[in-house]
Amino acid sequence: MRNVARVCSFLFLIALIAGVAYVGSDVEAVTLSAKDSHQSIQEADGFLASNFESFNFTVETSAVASSAAGRYRATAYCLRGKTASGRYVRRGIVAADPRILPLGTRIHMSGGRYTGKYLVADTGGKIKGRILDIWVPSCAEARRWGRRTVSVKVVSKAKKKKKRRNRRRR
């Protein structure tokens, strides 16, 4: 029995030494490959730097104020007629507080079935702060919507209109 245990431990040691030697050769090959590719990259960088001119670009971007973006409480309404902006109600119209989202602002709302782009074209007496009121064609649909929290991103802010002066002609 002792001889069997000695033979097993001897074979285990030989297998362990062979495994270490095998893995060591693979690690060395990978290290050499990495050194070669690093040298190739440096040579390519040197070639590009010597054969091409460098250009400086100035990029100007304009960002929409994101203070109006975020989470809103949303309800739905089904009234007919004209909105506060003078348009007739239709799909894609929302009512909002004009201090937060001015009339004419385009938003992208993520809220279940009604995810998409909307135009802020209406206001409401009970709409204060971060509340949206989405127009839907039927009152049953508005009741099914209920009150939900939606995520809003401002696509484009409404352009502020210049005040006209009333000048009297003489």
**In whole numbers, what is the pLDDT of the chain averaged over residues?**
76
Structure confidence by residue, pLDDT tens digits, 83-95 = 888 888 888 899 9
Overall number of domains in the chain? 2
Output the domain CATH number for residue 84: 2.40.40.10
Q: Which residue has the higher pLDDT, 123 or 69?
A: 123
The pLDDT, as a whole number, for residue 53 is 59
Residue type, 88: Y
Same domain for 86 and 140, yes or no, is: yes
Name 160's bridge partners. Answer: none
Q: 31-40, 72-81, 125-134, 144-153: which has the minimum mean pLDDT?
A: 31-40
Containing structural domain, residue 15: 1-52
Q: Which residue has the higher pLDDT, 143 or 64?
A: 143
Q: Which residue has the higher pLDDT, 75 or 39?
A: 75
Distance CA 54, CA 38 (A): 23
The pLDDT, as a whole number, for residue 145 is 87
The pLDDT, as a whole number, for residue 112 is 80
Is the pLDDT at 21 greater than 60? The verdict is yes
With cut-offs at 50, 70 and 90, classify the pLDDT of residue 48.
Answer: low
The pLDDT, as a whole number, for residue 15 is 75
Same domain for 34 and 75, yes or no, is: no
The pLDDT, as a whole number, for residue 33 is 54
Residues 6+ apart with CB under 8 A from 157: 64, 65, 68, 102, 105
Q: Which residue has the higher pLDDT, 111 or 36?
A: 111
The pLDDT, as a whole number, for residue 16 is 72
Is the pLDDT at 170 greater than 90? The verdict is no
Each residue of 61-97: b (16+ CB within 10 Å) or e?
A: eeeeeeebbeebebbbbeeeeebeeeeebeeebbbbb
Looking at the domain assignment, is residue 59 inside a domain? no
Same domain for 17 and 42, yes or no, is: yes
Same domain for 139 and 85, yes or no, is: yes
Looking at the domain assignment, is residue 57 inside a domain? no
